[in-house]
Amino acid sequence: MLSVCIPVYNFNLKPLVSSLHKQGKTLGVAFEILLADDDSDDHYKTVNQPLDSLEHVKYLQLDKNIGRAKIRNYLAEKAGYPYLLFMDCDSMTPDDDYLMRYISYCKGSIIVCGGRTHYPTPGNECFRLRWRYGTKREENPASLREKNPNNSFMTNNFLISKDLFKKFWLNEAITGYGHEDTYFGYQLKKNKVRVIHIDNPLIHVGLEPSQVYLAKTKEAINNLLHIYEISGYDPDLAEMVSLLNTFRKIKRWNLSFFMRFFYNMFNGLMQKNLLGSNPKLWILDLYKLAYICKIDSQ
């Protein structure tokens, strides 16, 4: 019935797998938990390897890193059941009924997103930027996500029938960090496949320090321009992503030079705020817009 598919990279999976394993045994349906390690450091391989001895759990190790899109496709190939539940490894289930809430949707050809949530505090000031962005921009109820269902697709927590996944796959030309989920949602939308949203969030426990998150944000913007190119500069894709849509308007109004100048002049000041104890999301938005204009010119 259900294959739980978790790509793994440099994270201790024991708490998550323990919870999923306990829940799986109460479902009353066939299930498996597939862990695909994308060439983690030896420390994490040692920590996670014992999970392979659990009933219904397989720990698959890759000898080289193949990236976020390709490893999910790899998991889909290895899965033995017709429904695939993908989740990020840096997650935790909110309660003991997480898997059960998905089971009722395992009918026909479907895709269902459960959402994301966070702990009430970041735990440490160094995680403040990622935590604030997550709680303010990603932590949305199903009622809000349903308004633009394909735009709100994220790979951190979704159920999909194997037949539907194999019609589209994740684009393996997207090898860096970020926006492989954006392109997948775009493909589904172009093919009139509607994403269903429910309130069944995973807790995002693997917050990155602000410096790391800001670097990943820049990498994701590079990827965003890449998928825009892959799409043939499709305005439908641009309309799905507010940053890309605003960027298109800036170019149309011939203001790209001003934004590049702004980035060069105020990059340091913006980073000072974003890496500090009280990061402002409007400054992050401005930083991203200026950065995308800068790299587009290159």
Give me Rg for the CA atoms of the chain. 20
pLDDT at site 210? 97
Average predicted confidence (pLDDT) for the chain: 95
Three-class DSSP category at 208: coil
Residue type, 188: L
Query: Confidence class of residue 174 from pLDDT cuts 50, 70 and 90?
Result: confident
The strand pairing partners of 36, in sequence order, are 7, 60
Starting at the edge strand found earlier in the chain, the sheet holding 31-37 runs: 57-61, 31-37, 2-8, 83-87, 157-161, 111-113, 196-197
Residue 176 has pLDDT above 80, yes or no: no
With a cut of 90, say whether residue 67 has pLDDT above it.
no
34-38, 149-153, 199-203, 261-265 — which is least confidently predicted? 149-153
Domain extent listing, the chain: 2-207, 213-296
Q: Give the closest residue to 287 by CA, choosing from 210, 174, 180, 184.
A: 210
Using the predicted structure, report yes or no on whether residue 127 has a pLDDT greater than 90.
yes
Choose among 272, 245, 250, 248: nearest CA to 261: 250
Q: What is the pLDDT of residue 251?
A: 93
Task: Compute the average pLDDT of residues 71-87.
Answer: 96
Q: How many residues does the chain have?
A: 298
pLDDT computed for residue 68 by the predictor = 87
Is the separation of the CB atoms in 87 and 202 below 8 Å?
A: yes
Contact predicate 110/160, CB 8 Å: yes
Cα–Cα distances in angstroms (integers) from residue 42 to residues 9, 10, 35, 45, in the given order: 11, 9, 16, 5
Residue 178 clears pLDDT 90, i.e. is over it: no
Residue of higher predicted confidence among 34 and 174: 34
Q: What is the per-residue pLDDT for 297?
A: 79
What was the pLDDT predicted at 152? 85
**Mean pLDDT, to the nearest integer, of 126-132?**
97
pLDDT at 214: 97
- pLDDT score of 156 more than 90: yes
pLDDT at position 158 over 90? yes
Q: Is 167 left (phi over 0), alpha (psi -120 to 50) or beta?
A: alpha
Which residues, 6 or more positions from 102, have their beta carbon under 8 angstroms from its beta carbon?
2, 85, 112, 114, 159, 200
- 254 pLDDT more than 90: yes
Helix-strand-coil split of the chain, %, nearest 5: 50, 15, 35
User: Per CATH, is 2-207 categorized as 3.90.550.10?
Assistant: yes
Q: pLDDT at residue 298 above 80?
A: no
Three-state SS for 223?
A: helix
